[in-house]
Structure 1
Amino acid sequence: MSPVYPVYIIGEVVNLTCSAAGVSTVSRIQFFQDSQEIGSKEGFSPSDNYIHKLQRSSVSGSHAGVYSCQYWKNVSGQESPSDRSQSISITVTAHPVYIIGEVVNLMCSAVGASTVSGIRFYQDSQEIDSKEGYSPPHRYIDTLQLSPVSELQDGAYSCQYWKDVSGREIPSENSQAISIAVTARPSAPKLTVTPQHQIFIMGEFVTLTCSDLRTSTLSGIRFFRGTQKIHSRELPRSPGSYTSVFQLPKESGSYTSEYSCEYWKTESGREIASERSRPLYITVTARPSVPTLTLSPPHRIFIVGESVTLTCSVPSTSALSGIRFFRDSQKIRSKEYPRSLTGYTDSLQLPGVSGSQAGAYSCEHWKVVSGREIPSQSSQQISIAVTDPPPQPELSMDPPSGVVNKGLSLNITCVAPGGAGEQKFHFFKDGVEIVPEHLGSEISSTDPDMSSMNTSVLTILKAGPNNTGEYTCSYKKNVSGRWVLSLGSRAVNVTVSGINTGGILLVAGTLAAVIFCFRRKQRAQKLQESAKGSEGRECTSNLDPSHGNKESKAMDAGAEQREQGSEVTYAVIPLSALEAHTTQSKTKTQPAEEEHVMYSEVVTKHVQKPDN
């Protein structure tokens, strides 16, 4: 359609064009007005480019409507129609409105007249222009141009032509009147931005407000970035101002954009736009590069009381004015530097971390440009979880007293509270961890099995003096992939006694020998006096350990005696006193006495000594 107007004025010319470009053969093109056929053309050739034009000259109200077109092509002797084109609406009004300063052309045509001597134009029935001397080549058309139009030219316009017949002027009837309304363009609005900064950040949102909308018949408002329309909205009423939120586009490097706004009103079907607002210039810069946040030690979960370090590293290419740390999006620390730096790190120390310090941590840095802080994007978040250590285990012993004789076995059992779970147990002696693999076969431990996931037993197979001491245990529990050590158990004390099973047997044998000695003494009354005296000394020596060493040695010389008529030989065996308990002081004086134990279990055969 040409020319393109939202509203056409009675008398104007409108051209409609239907093109079947790209089609190999076209047999017919048809126009439609409100779905009714109004004009067609057949017999096209490729040189026509398959284009058909429909002209609406001197448009009138009957030409208003919805227009479309369609073409046909001949396929095997039959016409095949295309789809309808898109629709175009034509609106016609008899009361056009013009804006002061525009150019208006009024055309008067005496089409059909055989002879025309002249044409006159009228404004509100007053002649304003006249032209004579027409000849047929001019087709009897005259144009009156109002340029630039002003409010003084508002009114009803008409025209007529005349011809001279026998020296007399014969005028035609006046044409239909065309009313022209002339109005001033609405005054320019005012454009402001919120927040008000000298510099803005790419991607952030700003609010543009178009105010001072000085018209009682406001129809809509538009915003522009440069010459490009970025927002348009029709308004049902006339507010004093209108606001819209925009996101500043992201581009490479810093830039400055020009923004403006306008509003419009509608009169006689025509949109009358206001003057543009004064331009508003917005300077935009990019955010600094994203910092990197690291965690040391790199655990997913921490135990109450541990130390945690978070380090924020800024790339060396970024200017720096300060660094901030956040926990759960709340600022917890901010450090400003007296001068702009490039490439820097700052650390946040959390000594003795507690449950209140658990959360998602992040950091950012900023630079100052034109008096405004320009923050970077936040670093990736690092979540810190804090938990109490697992509860204290229970430690028990078998025997429960903790006192065990040398050479016997000892079991120490560690039981973790709570249900089954993945656990590792550790035993300690005098604060040093016991590693059974490093101690050979004398100590072993059992790991938890499926039937008892919370118990472990430390077994000392043969207790010795070096096993005396204070024992504790603890366990590790798998919490979010980290092995967490529990609190230590209460301590139990182990004492290893120096008495062993061999010593007990020797004592029992000694008592048996003493009893047997007394019985033999009664039976030996008839022996010789020398043997009797010797045996008495032996018994006395065995019953009275207070005899001196000299007497003991004398007895040793004749210790071996043979009862007359007997196959049993008795021997007096001197035995040192039992070892002191291993926990006694080594400087303690050892008893000087010796115990003499007689064994009767040893049977010897009497052998006659050969004479010398």
Structure 2
Amino acid sequence: MPRLHVTTKNNIGTAHVTVGTDGEQYSCAYSVNGRRIYSPVSEHVMVTITAPPSKPVIRLDQWTGVYVVGERVTITCSVTADDRDKNFHFYRGGQNLSLSQFTTKYDIGTARVTAGTDGEQYSCAYSASVNGRWIDSPLSEHVMVTITAPPSKPVIRLDQWTGVYVVGERVTITCSVTADDRDKNFHFYRGGQNLSLSQFTTKYDIGTARVTAGTDGEQYSCAYSVSGNGRWIDSPLSEHVVVTITDPLKTPVIYLDQATGVYAVGQTITMTCTVTGDNREKMFYFYKGHQQLPFNTSSRNTETFTFPNSGLSHSGQYRCQYRVTVRSRQFDSKQSQAITVAIEEKNPVALAAVVGSALGLILLLALLGVCVWRKGKKENMRETRNAVPSREQNNEHLTYADLILQTNPKGEDCQRDNSHAQSEEYTLYAAVKL
């Protein structure tokens, strides 16, 4: 064994050697100055060589290192291929963390702290036990915790603030955020189930989802995620909104009390608007052309509209419509098919009778004129013969029928005209009776 370099101070001699081979034994002795008298050799000591602890690896549970104030930060310090007993040590800004903040299991030490100040740095080391000696590892690299503001709770709204829709109607849902300019992704939920990305869009601080109204009572909520140095942080869930489904409105039917739709001036016009299979309270409206009439009333299934004294201005086409209010939202039905009202100034039957009477009178006067003209012609012919029958001297007392027979004894000229005259006279009488 080579001679060692030994230093002596008081009663202690010290030798410094470099550890080399495992199991080397060392012993010592001393001599008194001036004489070469040696002491007995001491007991020997054996040097055990062990592998130095390796540099541990430190990690954050969020690889981006981004956390929200107050969020729990989990830090792990891990060692590979070292089955010796270990104690882990964690440091924040060079200050040792208390043992109550971390645990050890196998080759991993875990520390849990609360995110506080932005930019805090953490590192770790460990000690390995070899035959009662604890040997410290080198210090790990450090990791830095970045603190970001927590996302605020978003606000969800329906395009219909009442929340009432008809089956199949388009429902537009918005999820809005204020005072947050970070990149965002919005998420919508129906009954707790995530809606597909194809159903909504994002623009600035507003996410918009469009769905089709289906089942009554469906609940919708939303949330969003913000990006911070590669980490997406989720906001709290919004309040939920409820979609109420109501039955679609049917088209009403309008009809008149007169099936023909023809009325005389002054006659009462009554039109009725009715709906079947819908017992909700309704507000009815009547229209002439495109103009709404100054009438509306509340009913459930049927409503009537009356003109007590009709005039020519009431002629035209009429329609009706109704409105239903569900939780403050108003729904208007389609307008009914049109009905046509016609107003006549006089009674058509009486007018026909008057016209017929006038024509009969004109024909009768014409017939009488022809007969008188023929009678005068005959008399002129008889005067030229200078012979006047005694019976013709009393013509002024004859009836109208006798006059016709005298002027035409054979009845060849005016008999047919006379029959027509009597017929027209009867027609005139009948017309007047009507």
Q: Which residue of 2 aligns with 1:333?
A: 201
Contact 2:315 / 2:343 at 8 angstroms: preserved in 1? Answer: no
Please give the alpha-carbon distance, in whole angstroms, between the structure 1 residues aligned to 2:122 and 2:429.
Answer: 118
Please give the alpha-carbon distance, in whole angstroms, between the structure 2 residues aligned to 1:543 and 1:505.
Answer: 12
Q: Which residue of 2 aligns with 1:16?
A: none
Question: Residues 325 and 130 of structure 1: is their aligned pair in 2 closer, same or farther, counting only changes over 3 Å?
Answer: closer
Secondary structure of the structure 2 residue equivalent to 1:390? coil
Please give the alpha-carbon distance, in whole angstroms, between the structure 1 residues aligned to 2:356 and 2:67.
Answer: 112
Q: Following TM superposition, by how much is the alpha carbon of 1:484 offset from its aligned partner in structure 2, in angstroms?
A: 3.8
Contact 1:325 / 1:361 at 8 angstroms: preserved in 2? Answer: no
Q: Which of 258, 264, 267 does residue 122 from structure 2 map onto?
A: 258
| Structure 1 position 458 matched with structure 2 position 300 | no
Question: Residues 180 and 282 of structure 1: is their aligned pair in 2 closer, same or farther, counting only changes over 3 Å?
Answer: same
Secondary structure of the structure 2 residue equivalent to 1:436? strand
Contact 1:471 / 1:491 at 8 angstroms: preserved in 2? Answer: yes
Structure 2, unpaired ranges of 5+: 1-8, 26-44, 366-427
Q: Following TM superposition, by how much is the alpha carbon of 1:355 offset from its aligned partner in structure 2, in angstroms?
A: 3.4
Q: Following TM superposition, by how much is the alpha carbon of 1:307 offset from its aligned partner in structure 2, in angstroms?
A: 8.3
Q: Which of 222, 225, 228 does residue 97 from structure 2 map onto?
A: 228
Q: Following TM superposition, by how much is the alpha carbon of 1:504 offset from its aligned partner in structure 2, in angstroms?
A: 8.7
Q: Which residue of 2 aligns with 1:436?
A: 295
Q: Which of 269, 280, 283 does residue 142 from structure 2 map onto?
A: 280
Q: Which residue of 2 aligns with 1:395?
A: 253
Alpha-carbon deviations, 1:227-286, whole Å to 9, x = none?
223643354xxx454667x575245xx332314253666977x9x585474142223121
Question: Residues 459 and 215 of structure 1: is their aligned pair in 2 closer, same or farther, counting only changes over 3 Å?
Answer: same
Question: Residues 504 and 305 of structure 1: is their aligned pair in 2 closer, same or farther, counting only changes over 3 Å?
Answer: same
Please give the alpha-carbon distance, in whole angstroms, between the structure 1 residues aligned to 2:231 and 2:62.
Answer: 14
Please give the alpha-carbon distance, in whole angstroms, between the structure 1 residues aligned to 2:116 and 2:302.
Answer: 64
Question: Residues 435 and 261 of structure 1: is their aligned pair in 2 closer, same or farther, counting only changes over 3 Å?
Answer: farther
User: 1:170-569 alignment to 2 at 5 Å?
Assistant: 188-197=55-64, 199-202=66-69, 208-218=75-85, 225=92, 227-229=96-98, 231-233=101-103, 235=105, 239-241=106-108, 246=112, 249-251=115-117, 254-260=118-124, 262=126, 272=134, 274-275=136-137, 277-287=139-149, 290=152, 298-303=161-166, 308=172, 310=174, 312=176, 314-315=178-179, 320=181, 322-328=183-189, 331=197, 332-334=200-202, 348=208, 354-355=212-213, 360=220, 362=222, 364=224, 366=226, 372=230, 377=235, 380=238, 383=241, 385=243, 387=245, 390-397=248-255, 399=257, 401=259, 403=261, 405-406=263-264, 407-418=267-278, 420-436=279-295, 445=297, 447-448=298-299, 454-462=300-308, 463-465=310-312, 466=314, 468-478=316-326, 481-488=327-334, 490-498=336-344, 503=347, 543-547=357-361
Greater RCO (Cα-Cα under 8 Å, separation 6 or more)? 2
Question: Residues 499 and 367 of structure 1: is their aligned pair in 2 closer, same or farther, counting only changes over 3 Å?
Answer: same
Question: Residues 595 and 306 of structure 1: is their aligned pair in 2 closer, same or farther, counting only changes over 3 Å?
Answer: farther
Contact 1:224 / 1:231 at 8 angstroms: preserved in 2? Answer: no
Q: Following TM superposition, by how much is the alpha carbon of 1:495 offset from its aligned partner in structure 2, in angstroms?
A: 2.0
Q: Following TM superposition, by how much is the alpha carbon of 1:460 offset from its aligned partner in structure 2, in angstroms?
A: 0.9
Please give the TM-score of this superposition, normalised by the length of structure 2: 0.52
Structure 1, unpaired ranges of 5+: 1-128, 132-143, 156-178, 336-343, 438-444, 449-453, 512-540, 552-593, 600-612
Aligned length: 324
Please give the alpha-carbon distance, in whole angstroms, between the structure 2 residues aligned to 1:595 and 1:495.
Answer: 34
Contact 1:202 / 1:284 at 8 angstroms: preserved in 2? Answer: no
Structure 1: which amino acid aligns with 2:323? Y
Structure 1: which amino acid aligns with 2:56? P
Contact 2:252 / 2:320 at 8 angstroms: preserved in 1? Answer: no
Structure 2: which amino acid aligns with 1:415? V
Contact 1:467 / 1:494 at 8 angstroms: preserved in 2? Answer: yes
Please give the TM-score of this superposition, normalised by the length of structure 1: 0.40
Question: Residues 598 and 399 of structure 1: is their aligned pair in 2 closer, same or farther, counting only changes over 3 Å?
Answer: closer
Please give the alpha-carbon distance, in whole angstroms, between the structure 2 residues aligned to 1:182 and 1:595.
Answer: 153
Q: Percent identical across equivalent pairs?
A: 10
Please give the alpha-carbon distance, in whole angstroms, between the structure 1 residues aligned to 2:160 and 2:184.
Answer: 21
Question: Residues 506 and 546 of structure 1: is their aligned pair in 2 closer, same or farther, counting only changes over 3 Å?
Answer: closer
Question: Residues 375 and 421 of structure 1: is their aligned pair in 2 closer, same or farther, counting only changes over 3 Å?
Answer: same
Alpha-carbon deviations, 1:344-398, whole Å to 9, x = none?
7668596xx73389873647585665xx366684684564738576231442535
Contact 1:323 / 1:365 at 8 angstroms: preserved in 2? Answer: yes
Q: CA RMSD in A?
A: 5.7
Contact 1:297 / 1:309 at 8 angstroms: preserved in 2? Answer: no
- Structure with greater helix share of residues: 2
Secondary structure of the structure 2 residue equivalent to 1:491? coil
Question: Residues 456 and 499 of structure 1: is their aligned pair in 2 closer, same or farther, counting only changes over 3 Å?
Answer: same
Secondary structure of the structure 1 residue equivalent to 2:334? coil
